[in-house]
């Protein structure tokens, strides 16, 4: 078997359940969007608005459990079981506290919703849904940390099935609480929020039970949980988590700020943006899963001292990612209108979304390249310079260009998405360039000097 195919087979074996798990998490939002879209356009716009606010907090959590994955993967590659246990203990306890902090931050935005200048009807309906989505962060952040821990130890499948059980629970609870079926009260938006909170609470309980009883994972757990956290360990965790959270905040923040700009064109435009963004975020889970697997595999190789293997692992993942995102682009070009009709019957929303899907198709390949390159760089613990490159791409290029095209060139929502596409493609070129330099044979010592 060709070396690239052999490496791709290993990456794919790890990435498949990760991708499926990420898609499962996206299905929670997708289910809410599909089911709430049947209530009305304003309700769908509320979901879009709340998702914008939610992701400002959630990306901080993503940085945290991504850092746990990197720390555990390196320790596992070094075959240091005690180091694995301590990395997870610190990460999990910090994630539990962080869930409460993030939820508090979201709840604190409720008195200031008017600042975002969304349509009055959208702002008025937002709190009922936002409260429960904010509270769902409390179980969600530690649940994703457990998921990252299991994946870093090459044990992703059981976690995947447990998380899919949470998605199924969310569907059932939505059916009962949104529409009032089987004698339950019809709570609409609030019912969707309650369903998401309960589903995520059940998921973290199931994951914790599995973790404690697993014959494979439990030996890697700390023998004592109540020891004080070590300051150096926490700081090391945040040295990785901080830049990763910063990267994701800038990228998600660009899309979030774009949504706020699009909201000024009315509820139909915001609803169309939500539909397109939901589908793009779903397709993004494919290269993101490969990226997370790439981070783990590169971390294992670096931890085990097999730095030369990284180049084959990275190249094979990029080739596979290119094929996947080409297929996604074709789906958006030829099936954009059909996808929009699956979410809503509003002809104005469908027309806007179909145009946005065409723009989205053009940046699929760039989106795949930038997330894969960044995943490999994280495995090398190279996180600071990529953060700067992402800031330049999204906040100095993407948003100013999008705002100009939307408001000065009269392209409206399409202009915002064109700007986002430009930012994504810029990030793809810059991060891939950085990775190519990092993987040169003369630069295999990068992890030790990745503070650039």
- Per residue in 367-414, pLDDT (tens digit) is 999 999 999 998 888 888 999 999 999 999 999 999 999 998 888 899
Percent above pLDDT 70 for the chain: 92
Do 169 and 199 meet the contact criterion of CB atoms below 8 Å apart? yes
Tokens describing residue 160: 């995947």
Lowest mean pLDDT among 205-209, 263-267, 281-285, 334-338: 281-285
How far, in Å, CA of 33 to CA of 16, rounded? 25
Do 147 and 207 meet the contact criterion of CB atoms below 8 Å apart? yes
Do 110 and 127 meet the contact criterion of CB atoms below 8 Å apart? yes
Give the per-residue pLDDT at 448: 42
> Which is more confident, 18 or 396?
396
How far, in Å, CA of 24 to CA of 235, rounded? 32
DSSP string, 342-370: HH---HHHHHHHHHHHHHHHHTHHHHHHH
Measured CA to CA in angstroms, residue 206 lies from 26, 143, 163, 166 at distances of 19, 9, 9, 9
Give the per-residue pLDDT at 444: 44
- Residue keyed to tokens 């530690």: 142
330-354 average pLDDT score: 89
Do 379 and 67 meet the contact criterion of CB atoms below 8 Å apart? no
Give the per-residue pLDDT at 27: 64
Tokens describing residue 257: 């700020």
Q: What is the pLDDT of residues 128-164, one digit of tens each?
A: 899 999 999 999 999 989 988 998 888 888 988 898 8
Residue 289 phi/psi, 5-degree rounding, is -60, -45
- Residue keyed to tokens 């996604």: 328
Q: Which residues of 222-234 are buried (b: 16+ CB within 10 A; e: fewer)?
A: beeeeeeeeeebe
5-28 average pLDDT score: 70
Do 377 and 386 meet the contact criterion of CB atoms below 8 Å apart? yes
Do 434 and 450 meet the contact criterion of CB atoms below 8 Å apart? no
- Residue keyed to tokens 């999204």: 394
Give the per-residue pLDDT at 1: 52
Tokens describing residue 97: 């506290």
What is the total count of domains within the chain?
Answer: 1
Q: Which domain holds residue 212?
A: 3-449
List, in sequence order, the alpha helices (H) in 214-345.
231-263, 267-303, 309-343
Do 36 and 43 meet the contact criterion of CB atoms below 8 Å apart? yes
Measured CA to CA in angstroms, residue 349 lies from 94, 207, 383, 417 at distances of 42, 39, 39, 15
Neighbours of 410 (CB within 10 A): 9
Do 340 and 272 meet the contact criterion of CB atoms below 8 Å apart? yes
DSSP, collapsed to helix, strand or coil, labels residue 223 as coil
- Residue keyed to tokens 């009305």: 40
DSSP type of residue 397: I
How far, in Å, CA of 50 to CA of 395, rounded? 22
Neighbours of 131 (CB within 10 A): 19
Q: Which of 74, 92, 96, 75 is nearest to 84 (CA)?
A: 75
Give the per-residue pLDDT at 53: 81
Res. 452 pLDDT band, cuts 50 70 90: very low
How far, in Å, CA of 270 to CA of 291, rounded? 30
The H or E element that residue 164 is part of is helix 157-177
Residue 44, Cα to own-chain centre: how many angstroms?
A: 21
Please, what is the end-to-end C-alpha distance for the chain in angstroms?
37
Q: Which of 80, 92, 218 is nearest to 147 (CA)?
A: 92
Percent above pLDDT 90 for the chain: 32
Give the per-residue pLDDT at 265: 87
Q: 267-303 and 231-263 are packed helices; what angle lies between their axes, rounded to 10 degrees?
A: 150
Do 263 and 116 meet the contact criterion of CB atoms below 8 Å apart? yes
DSSP, collapsed to helix, strand or coil, labels residue 440 as coil
Residue 216, Cα to own-chain centre: how many angstroms?
A: 27
């Amino acid at each position: 078997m060709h070396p690239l195919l052999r490496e791709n087979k290993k990456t794919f074996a790890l990435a498949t359940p990760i991708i499926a798990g990420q898609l499962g998490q996206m299905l929670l939002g997708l289910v809410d969007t599909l089911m709430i879209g049947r209530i009305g356009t304003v309700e769908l716009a509320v979901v879009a608005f709340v998702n914008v606010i939610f992701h400002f907090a959630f990306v901080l959590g993503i940085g945290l459990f991504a850092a746990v994955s990197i720390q555990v993967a390196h320790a596992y590659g070094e075959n240091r079981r005690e180091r694995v246990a301590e990395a997870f203990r610190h990460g999990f306890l910090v994630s539990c506290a962080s869930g409460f902090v993030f939820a508090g931050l979201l709840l604190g935005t409720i008195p200031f919703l008017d600042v975002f200048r969304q349509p009055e009807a959208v702002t008025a309906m937002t709190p009922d849904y936002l409260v429960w989505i904010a509270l769902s962060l409390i179980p969600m952040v530690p649940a994703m940390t457990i998921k990252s821990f299991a994946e870093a130890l090459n044990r992703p499948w059981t976690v995947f099935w447990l998380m899919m059980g949470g998605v199924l629970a969310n569907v059932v609870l939505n059916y009962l609480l949104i529409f009032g079926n089987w004698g339950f009260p019809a709570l609409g938006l609030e019912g969707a929020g309650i369903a998401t909170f309960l589903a995520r609470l059940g998921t973290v309980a199931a994951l914790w039970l599995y973790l404690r009883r697993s014959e494979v994972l439990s030996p890697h757990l700390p023998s004592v949980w109540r020891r004080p956290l070590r300051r150096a360990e926490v700081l090391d965790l945040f040295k990785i988590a901080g830049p990763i959270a910063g990267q994701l905040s800038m990228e998600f923040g660009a899309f979030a700020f774009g949504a706020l700009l699009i909201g000024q064109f009315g509820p139909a435009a915001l609803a169309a943006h939500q539909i397109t963004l939901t589908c793009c975020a779903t397709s993004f889970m494919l290269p993101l899963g490969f990226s997370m697997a790439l981070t783990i595999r590169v971390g294992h190789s670096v931890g085990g001292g097999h730095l030369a293997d990284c180049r084959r692992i990275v190249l094979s993942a990029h080739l596979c990612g290119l094929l996947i995102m080409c297929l996604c682009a074709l789906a958006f070009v030829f099936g954009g209108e059909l996808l929009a009709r699956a979410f809503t019957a509003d002809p104005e929303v469908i027309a806007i979304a179909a145009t946005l899907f065409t723009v989205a198709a053009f940046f699929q390949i760039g989106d795949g390249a930038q997330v894969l390159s960044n995943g490999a760089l994280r495995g090398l613990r190279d996180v600071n310079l990529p953060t700067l490159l992402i800031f330049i791409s999204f906040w100095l290029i993407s948003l100013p260009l999008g705002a100009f095209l939307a408001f000065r060139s009269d392209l409206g929502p399409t202009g915002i998405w064109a700007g986002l596409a430009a930012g994504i493609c810029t990030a793809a070129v810059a991060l891939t360039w950085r990775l190519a330099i990092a993987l040169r044979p003369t630069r295999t010592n990068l992890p030790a000097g990745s503070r650039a």
